[in-house]
Amino acid sequence: MTDTVSDTVAATVAEYTDTVFGLMGSGNAWFIHGLAELGVDVIPVRHEAAAVAAADAYHRTTRRLAVATTTYGPGFSNLITPLIDAVLNRSPLLVVAGASAAIDHVALAETTGACVLTVGPDPAADTRHALDVALAESMPVVLFLPFGAPAAPPTATTGDPAEVSRLLSDARRPLILAGRGAVGARREVIALAQTLRADVATTVPAKGFFEGARDVRDLGICGGFAFPEAAEEICRADVVLVVGASLNRFTTDHGRAFGPEAHVILIDRHSPTSPRVDAFLPGDAGEVLAGLAVRGVDRQRAQLHTGHPSGSEFAVDGRLDPRGLFRRLNEVLPRGRVVVTDGGHFIAWPCMYLDVPGPDHLVVVGTAFESIGLGFGSAVGVIEAAGERLTVLVTGDGGGLMALADAESVIRRVRATGGRCVVVVVNDAAYGAEIHQYATRGVAETPMLIPEVDFTALLGVFGARGTVVHTLADLDPVGEWLAAGEAGTWVLDCRVSREVVAPFLKGR
């Protein structure tokens, strides 16, 4: 497989330089692959700002053209500061970046003062023009690669409470999906579910919403982080009542979570952002639910195991199976915990396998903007909010290296508050999302790999204790530390397999 536009851009860039700095992501994977096919290596960095800073510094030392490449979204927004510096320095710099509909990439780029161009019908001519402008005018040029068309806006109609009541009462397999916006109406949501004998599920931030609720069948998290048996039941629902959730691509599993014939109703203060919504009831969740008049239903539901399927200790390559790892972590870590995760392929495992006592105890950062590297910084805020509760930070090795500066902030804040934090590094020595989405399609794997880093040694410099985890027995020391009630930060550098693919990436 290949991408002819990216190949053409790469071939044109290769006519001008053999030195490119960058970081791979979905928006520039095929461009980097094209460079590799031509023998042009992309010198890897761990943060997009470093890609532009390195390219600019290369020019300032050699007076040669500077070239950097990043992905779209956070991959582009992360490089704004060094790009502005390059503009002020009038460096001949080409930035080849992805673009998507998430933000107005062109408007953001134009604020820096750089020349902004987009690849059009003639990729070779457009790239050559960008390079010539950078060299002739001695200025940075941002060249955006195309990345699909903007999504159509949602067209949900305002629903009629009476009609919604009828639909729910007549439903054969109703499902109530609670999001973070439903927390204030928990009593009303559970009462409706009990009246309808409906199945229930939650979004990631609302995990634990139905903890302890009786006479309902809790299917757990809806969407890409659902266990297979639960996902099948969710897909069988004929009427789905969504309360206080935006129905993002994770909750809808990229449109696969609900059956094609399911009627989806949203109750929320904000207008729907998902085209999957058929009817919208605006307003406070508790007040809207109180206005529904549904009939009680005597409905039998088979028991469904939606807990923690046993995972093997090791995958086929002899490294830890992340499913077995997080199943064991769920047993080792105290129940009264607040979990915060960085973004990346690994996020499925804490979301699926780590129980939390209620909403707002599972904080997933970066997913809305498809970013990584926010984990350590976010953990500082969670530590401040957690009080006596244990903070559990889960990060990948890629995001962990990107955010390493604030690992010191985490350890320092834990020490200042007298609290406790466990840092779980899911270390597969790679950018896992890129491996599973692009290496499997023929893209050069080398830029996706990370030399295996010992995070216990890195964070030990800042004062953390830790264990490199090769087997489940290696978790015993942290269990003993937690049982002793000692304050401080413990790092678990978990050497996991790249062979296990998270369900939310399968089929993409």
3-state SS assignment for residue 95: strand
Give this prediction's pTM. 0.90
Residues 176-223: pLDDT tens digits?
Answer: 999 999 999 999 999 999 999 999 999 999 999 999 898 899 999 999
pLDDT higher for 150 or 227? 227
- Which superfamily does CATH assign the domain made up of 4-145 to? Thiamin diphosphate (ThDP)-binding fold, Pyr/PP domains (3.40.50.970)
- Decide if pLDDT at 396 tops 60: yes
pLDDT, position 1? 42
Per-residue confidence (pLDDT) for residue 249, from 0 to 100? 86
> Which among 26, 88, 95 has a CA at the least distance from the CA of 54?
95
Structure confidence at residue 367 (pLDDT): 85
306 has pLDDT over 70:
no
Q: Taking phi first (over 0 means left), then psi (-120 to 50 degrees means alpha), and beta for anything else, what does residue 257 get?
A: alpha
Question: Architecture of 322-505 per CATH?
Answer: 3-Layer(aba) Sandwich (3.40)
What is d(CA 265, CA 269) in angstroms, rounded to the nearest whole number?
13
Longest Cα separation, the chain:
78
**Averaged pLDDT, 440-449:** 88
Distance CA 467, CA 470 (A): 9
> What fold, for 157-290?
Rossmann fold (3.40.50)
Q: Do domains 4-145 and 157-290 have the same CATH topology?
A: yes
The residue written with tokens 């009828």 in the block is: 166
Q: pLDDT tens digit string along 30-89?
A: 999 999 999 998 999 999 999 999 999 999 999 999 999 999 999 999 999 999 999 999
| Kind plus residue range of the DSSP H or E element containing 436 | helix 432-437
Mean pLDDT over 460-477 rounds to 98
Q: Tell me whether residue 145 is exposed, middle or buried, using C-beta atoms within 10 angstroms of its C-beta: 0 to 12, 13 to 18, 19 or more.
A: buried
At 29, give phi and psi (nearest 5°): -60, -45
Tell me the C-alpha distance between 127 and 122, whole Å. 9
List the chain domain ranges: 4-145, 157-290, 322-505
pLDDT for the residue numbered 427: 98
- Beta-strand pair 217-221/20-22: unpaired
pLDDT tens readout for residues 352-368? 999 999 999 999 998 88
DSSP for 10-71 reads HHHHHTT-S-EEE---TTTHHHHHHHHHTT--EEE-SSHHHHHHHHHHHHHHH-SPEEEEE-
